[in-house]
Amino acid sequence: MTLADLKTGQSGKILKISVSGALKRRLMDMGVVPGTDVRVEKVAPLGDPIEVRIKSYALSLRRGEARHIEVEGTHSS
Amino acid sequence: MSALIASTVHRGKSGRRTHLTIAVAGNPNAGKSTLTNAIAGSRLSVGNWPGVTVEKKSATFDFQGRKITLVDLPGTYSLSPYTQEEVVARDYLVHEKPDVIINVVDATNLERNLYFTLQLLELNIPLVMALNMHDEAAQKGFRIDIDKMALMLGSAVIPTVATKGEGIGRLMETAVAFADASETQRPAVVSYGEDIEKAVAAVAEQLKDHADVVSGHLPLRWMALKMIEGDARAIEHYQTEAYAALTEKAAHHLRSAHGEDLEALLADVRYGLAAGLTRETLRKPEKRKRELTERIDAVVLNRYAGIPIFFVAMWLMFKLTFDIAGPFTDWLDGIVAGPLPRWAAVLLAAISAPDWIVSLVTEGIIAGVGSVLVFLPPIFAMMFFITLLEASGYLARAAFVMDRLMSAIGLHGKSFIPLLLGFGCNVPAIYATRTLENPRDKALTALLIPLMSCGARLPVYVVFTAAFFSAYAVTVLWSLYLLGIVLAVLVGFLFKKTLFRGEAPVFIMELPPYRIPTAKNLMIHTWEKGKHYLMKAGTWILAISVFVWFGLNLPWGVEAKKESYLGKTGQIIAPVFAPLGFGTWEAASSLLTGVVAKEIVVATMGEVYAPGAEEKEEEASSFSEDVREITVSFGGAFVDAAKNVFSTFGVATMSAQEDEETAGLKSVLAKTFTPLSAYAFMAFVLLYLPCFIVLVAMRHEFGSWKWAGVTIVYQTVLAWMVAFVIYQGGRLVGL
Ligand SMILES: Nc1nc2c(ncn2[C@@H]2O[C@H](COP(=O)(O)OP(=O)(O)OP(=O)(O)O)[C@@H](O)[C@H]2O)c(=O)[nH]1
Ligand SMILES: [Mg+2]
């Protein structure tokens, strides 16, 4: 499962980033590192991008980028 | 720690340096600029870092009897080599070696900020942390153990509130004290774990003979870590192929234990440490309150309301910009058109200057300066609103809402605003691309901006629609605006597939909390953005205006416009326009002067088609009358601006009024153009190369003429093709 599969309000734990190079480094620099909890807060009105909460701040990214982030679902609320 | 500060803070100690350099580094939005401004105030100067259009802000001032240079580095999340900002920041830190780093940390977002701090520590430069946003952290109920943090980092930690100037004094004193004790006051070496440290030691052992390290030019630990990370820029830059091979041995060992991606491993380790530091020093309240930002976002980013709210916000910004700026533009225009040349003429007559000098000064130089001046009000107004959007946090939301639409033509969500502003005036729109971080997004956006029909093109449309399409003027006008938009979509798509192929756009963006910007911040940022235009673009615009004046007035004593260099050039290029339906020298010359500013097309047409109708002699007025008039009309401009703001309707346009002068022109046009060729002409005016002020702005924003050149070529070709299709197509169907 990837971050793009989580629905609004669902949380997950990051397992791995399945892309390499600049994009991976950029994601990691923004706090998207394995073991971190994420929660999908919002989806943009046109369906993309999405807003997630990670390391206590709000990050937005496109679904295309979120698909590179493997997560395991924890719980939904 | 405090003992150390006390022992070094004494003034007049021998051997201390008289000039200190302090770098201000930190995450985006941590408050670096606010802090730098609070310390340096108006002494701040803003420019670009060499070669890139990343802002360089620095200030030199006296502090406790010696010189301090403060450098506000671009905000970054890391010191990796992937974005312009990161490269600028790390090259500065590594090569310029500031005496001390002030690391501005957002106390409400400790973990991610500490990740960056850890990378700063690797540089082995004395570090003082400004634990900023302390007010917000306190309000959230965060309790941060400052002493513990200082101890763990081997640095000083000073709580600050940059917006209120709190903690600034202590911060500066500590920073200076650290610089003085720089030999001993090195930051802690944070251990990255046994395996990595072993590899670092092994690589460092090989590196320590490298000339740059021996001479103290490169921080050894940082260098070793970059080698292990496989940092391409570091390896290439420091030409350490031989060392790279040795690194490979150490790296190989790490890889077999920790997996292939060592860069990721290190990021992981740093985040682990940042998380640990945060856990040790930060106490959060048990229950997290739903914050104001989340409540605002629930409305602003709502699935149904988000887009309407966005459009209302844009409409408001657009309207306010031009409503407020319009009267002041007219006021400046009035001065430049009337009193200023009059005074100059009187002065020049007093020193008995020849006629051509008078003409050069009044029609060339003053008119040139005038064209710079009239852009000032909209530029400053627009920069003010952009700053407001940016500082309040809404700009990031706007990008979030619009990204889907923009990404279809390969743009970034943030591109929308510069494009929209282009409908008012392309020049500030080009400067507004500064909000885009990625050079690719910036260039592509700037290339499409001229397709947005700006206010200066409207006078041309007005004259032609009045002459040919008075029955359906509005439809024709709208069709032109729409034509620009449709072509922008097509051209954007084309560029995405050609010029910018292979450069993957990314949209990974922080949504910062909403904040009420301080008036001081707004003023400083607005002024900084506008000042650029005034200083740099001003000189170019003046030079080109003078050039055009010569074009119109050479050879010496030329009477008929047809015989001037410009007129002759018009005659030469006229055949090019024949297939478009307007192959006359008059049309060609008018289009040529339109490069100065598109509304000039109408003015030139007035001169070449209907000479003699121009320039009614104005009754002479005295200097004091002029001054009174200028003052009174300045007051009037305020009143008009205020009225405009409160009147809900009335489409805001610059210089759209139609005056009697154009009435004569219309009847002449009716004889030389057909409705079809008139429409082709309007489309051509919409699309052909933008006024040179836009080109100068592009050169200014991108540091080279490259994108201005691309614009000139593609727009001229596009304009010709579209006008050709319209005219010939129209004839085919019998129009
Ligand atoms: N409440 C509060 N707000 C602050 C403080 N310091 C800065 N701000 C606000 O935070 C926002 C960002 O500040 P800037 O100074 O522009 O941040 P920066 O680090 O220069 O940002 P970049 O240039 O984008 O890297 C502004 O709206 C400031 O008014 C502070 O101590 N407390
Ligand atoms: Mg800043």
Question: What are the tens digits of pLDDT across the range B546-561?
Answer: 777 777 777 776 666 7
Confidence of residue A71 (pLDDT cuts 50, 70, 90): very high
- C-alpha to C-alpha distances, B72 to B76, B112, B129, B257, B661, nearest whole angstrom: 12, 20, 14, 40, 53
Residue type, B687: L
The CA B215 to ligand 2 mean position distance, Å, reads 33
* Count of residues in chain B: 735
Q: What single-letter DSSP state applies at residue B691?
A: P
Per-residue pLDDT tens digits for B147-184: 999 999 989 999 999 999 999 999 999 999 998 887 77
Q: What is the pLDDT of residue B298?
A: 92
What's the mean pLDDT in A1-25? 92
pLDDT value at residue B616: 45
Q: From CA B412, how far away is CA B433, in angstroms rounded?
A: 11
B420's CB contacts (< 8 A; 6+ apart) are: B314, B318, B452
Q: Give the CATH number, domain containing residue B167.
A: 3.40.50.300
Contacts of A43 in chain B (CB under 8 A): 303
Q: Who contacts B416 (Cβ-Cβ below 8 Å, separation ≥6)? A: B398, B399, B402, B405, B406
> Of B158, B180, B202, which marks where a domain is finished?
B180
Average pLDDT (B413-431) is: 83
Question: Is residue B169 located within the same domain as residue B228?
Answer: no
Least confident of A48-52, B100-104, B214-218, B309-313: B214-218
pLDDT recorded at residue B416: 87
Higher pLDDT, residue B379 or B712: B712
**Residue B426: both structure tokens together:** 């392309």
Does residue B100 sit in the same domain as residue B207?
no
Residue B613: is its pLDDT beyond 50? no
Q: B682 falls in which pLDDT band (50, 70, 90)?
A: very high
The CA distances from residue B228 to A19, B77, B191, B265, B269, in Å, are: 20, 20, 15, 10, 13
The model carries a pTM of 0.82
* Strand partners for A42: A51
Per the CB < 8 A criterion, the answer to whether B174 and B39 are in contact is no
Same domain, residue pair B342 and B429? yes
Choose the final residue of a domain: B239, B258, B277.
B258
In a domain, B278, yes or no: no
Q: Among B215-219, B533-537, B550-554, name the most confident range.
A: B550-554
- Spatial distance between the Cα atoms of B668 and B393, rounded to a whole number of angstroms: 53
Tokens describing residue B446: 């700037």
* Per-residue pLDDT at B536: 58
Nearest protein CA to atom 7 of ligand 1, as residue: B31
Neighbouring residues of B230: CB distance < 8 A, sequence distance ≥ 6: B251, B262, B263
Q: Is the pLDDT of residue B53 over 70?
A: no
Domain span at residue B215? 194-258
Mark which residues 68-87 of B lie under 8 Å from A by CB: 77-78, 80, 82-83
- The residue-averaged pLDDT of B487-499 equals 90
Tell me the shortest Cα–Cα distance from B309 to chain A, in angstroms.
Answer: 11
B387 lines ligand 1 (CB under 6 A): no
Q: Closest Cα partner for B597 from B260, B439, B410, B368?
A: B368
Residue A29 pLDDT greater than 90, yes or no: yes
B72 and B149 housed in the same domain: yes
% of residues, chain B, pLDDT over 90: 30
For B265-301, the pLDDT digits (tens) are 999 999 999 999 999 999 988 877 778 899 999 999 9
CA distance, residue A38 to nearest chain B CA (Å): 14
Give exposure, B10-47, as e/b (b: 16+ Cβ within 10 Å): eeeeeeeeeebbbbbbbbebbbbbbbbbbbbeeebebe
pLDDT tens-digit readout, B367-415: 767 766 777 787 788 778 888 888 898 988 998 999 998 888 888 888 8
Bridge-based pairing of strands B143-144 and B156-159 is unpaired
Token readout for B376 is 């000032």
Here the CATH number for the domain that contains residue A47 is 2.30.30.90
CA-CA distance, B229 to B569, in Å (whole number)? 60
Which residues in chain B are contacts of A31 at CB distance < 8 A? 111-112, 115, 271
Over range B445-470, report the average pLDDT.
Answer: 86
Which among A28, A42, A61 has CB closest to B264? A28
Largest Cα–Cα distance in chain B?
92
Q: Does A59 contact chain B (CB < 8 Å)? A: yes
pLDDT at B15 (0 to 100): 59
Cβ of A48 within 8 Å of Cβ of B407? The answer is yes
Contact of A34 with chain B, judged by CB distance below 8 Å, is answered with yes
Tell me the Cα Rg of chain A: 11
Q: What is the pLDDT of residue B713?
A: 94
In a domain, B54, yes or no: yes
Q: Which is nearest to B112 in space by CA: B236, B29, B6, B23?
A: B29
- The reply to whether B165 and B198 lie within a common domain is no
Shared domain for B471 and B337, answered yes or no, is yes
- Average pLDDT (B527-535) is 73
Mean pLDDT of the residues in chain B? 83
Q: Check pLDDT > 80 for residue B597.
A: no
Q: Is residue B613 classed as helix, strand or coil in its secondary structure?
A: coil
Are B725 and B461 a contacting pair, CB within 8 Å? no
The structural domain count of chain A equals: 1
Instruction: In whole angstroms, give the CA distance from residue B677 to residue B731.
Output: 10
CA of B374 to the centre of ligand 2 (A): 29
Query: Least CA distance to A58: which residue of chain B?
Result: B511
B547 in any annotated domain: yes
Q: Per DSSP, what are the bridge partners of residue A50?
A: A43, A61
The model's pLDDT over B20-32, given as tens digits with 9 standing for 90+, comes to 999 999 999 899 9
The number of CA neighbours under 13 Å toward the Cβ of B315 is 10
Sequence-separated (6 or more) residues with CB below 8 Å from residue B732: none
Quick one: pLDDT at residue B652?
Answer: 42
Specify the pLDDT at position B610: 58
Count the Cβ atoms, other than its own, within 10 Å of residue B366. 22
Distance CA A22, CA B147 (A): 36
Domain contains B187 = no
Token couple for B639: 């009143």
Is B601:B591 a contact under the CB 8 Å cutoff? yes
Contact list in A for residue B506 (CB cut-off 8 A) is 23, 26, 62, 65
Task: State whether B176 and B199 are in the same domain.
Answer: no
Interface check for B405 against chain A (CB to CB < 8 A): the answer is: yes
pLDDT for the residue B240:
60
Give pLDDT tens digits for B616-666.
445 566 777 778 888 888 888 888 888 777 764 444 443 444 455 556 677
Pick the atom of ligand 1 nearest to B55's CA: 23
For residue B45, the model assigns a pLDDT of: 72
Which of B218, B235, B258 is a domain's end point?
A: B258
- d(CA B397, CA B8) in angstroms, rounded, equals 47
Residue B325 included in any domain:
yes
Q: Cβ of B111 and A31 within 8 Å?
A: yes
Nearest CA in chain B to A25: B264
pLDDT reading at B5 higher than 50: no
B89-98: long-range contacts (C-beta < 8 A, 24 or more apart)?
A: B89/B25, B92/B23, B93/B23, B93/B25, B93/B120, B93/B123, B93/B125, B94/B123, B94/B218, B94/B219, B94/B222, B95/B217, B96/B21, B96/B23, B97/B125, B97/B217, B98/B21, B98/B22, B98/B23, B98/B71, B98/B125
Whether B376 is in a domain gets the answer yes
CA distance A41 to chain B (A): 10
Residues B727, B581: one domain?
yes
User: Given CB atoms, is B287 within the 8 Å cutoff of chain A?
Assistant: no
In the sheet with B66-72, reading across from the earlier edge strand, the strands are B45-48, B55-63, B66-72, B19-26, B100-106, B127-132, B156-159
Find the domain containing A48 and state its range: 3-76
Q: What DSSP element (H or E) covers B66?
A: strand B66-72
Does residue B681 have a pLDDT over 90?
yes
Rounded CA-CA distance B627/B177 in Å is: 55
| pLDDT for the residue numbered B450 | 95
Asked if B422 and B527 sit in the same domain, the reply is yes
Note the ligand closest to the C-alpha atom of B513: 1
Read off the pLDDT band of B614 (50, 70, 90): very low
B243 and B385 in a single domain? The answer is: no
What distance in Å separates the CA atoms of residue B68 and residue B45, rounded to the nearest whole number? 14
Cβ contacts of A58 on chain B, cutoff 8 Å: 293, 510-513
Overall domain count for chain B: 3
Nearest to B610 by CA among B668, B553, B673: B668
Reply yes or no on whether the pLDDT at B540 is more than 50.
yes
Q: Measuring CA to CA, which residue among B317, B310, B313 is closest to residue B645?
A: B317
Residues facing A52 on adjacent strands: A40, A59
- Name A73's bridge partners: A12
Decide if B707 contacts B446 (C-beta within 8 A).
Answer: yes
Is residue B54 domain-shared with residue B199, that is, in the same domain? no
DSSP characters for B502-556? Answer: T-----EEE-PPP----HHHHHHHHHHHHHHIIIIIHHHHHHHHHHHHHHHHTTT
Assign B9 a pLDDT band (cuts: 50, 70, 90).
Answer: very low
Comparing B47-61, B70-84, B120-134, B470-484, the range with the smallest average pLDDT is B47-61
